[in-house]
Amino acid sequence: MFIELSSECVALRDIDDFSRFHVEVPADMTLDGIDSALRAANLGRVNEAGTAIKISELRARVGEGREPQCTAFDEMIAYATDKGWVSSDGGDLSAHIIRNEPKK
């Protein structure tokens, strides 16, 4: 699963794939632009590690009444916690930023 950001939208993609998590942005999107888009969508913010994504908001968007996704999501968060990718208060999930080159 990943979050796709652009100047036009914020979208959660591949929500059935819990083996990866990142934020994809256009190559020219600034950190301020990424931060603004995440905050406007109430998904998180940019921090020193990349991004801090709100686990509660992500869970709400992934779950949406689908129990299997909720279980897999919990397993993904447990794995991320073991790796140190979840904040000490358990509220945020770290995600690295992948910059996509413009399509020609």
Identity of the residue numbered 2: F
Dihedral through CA 102, CA 94, CA 34, CA 37, nearest 10? 120
This prediction has a pTM of: 0.87
- Residue 51: which of 62, 70, 73, 36 has the closest Cα? 36
pLDDT digits (tens, 9 = 90+) for 31-90: 999 999 999 999 999 988 789 999 999 988 887 666 666 788 899 999 999 999 999 999
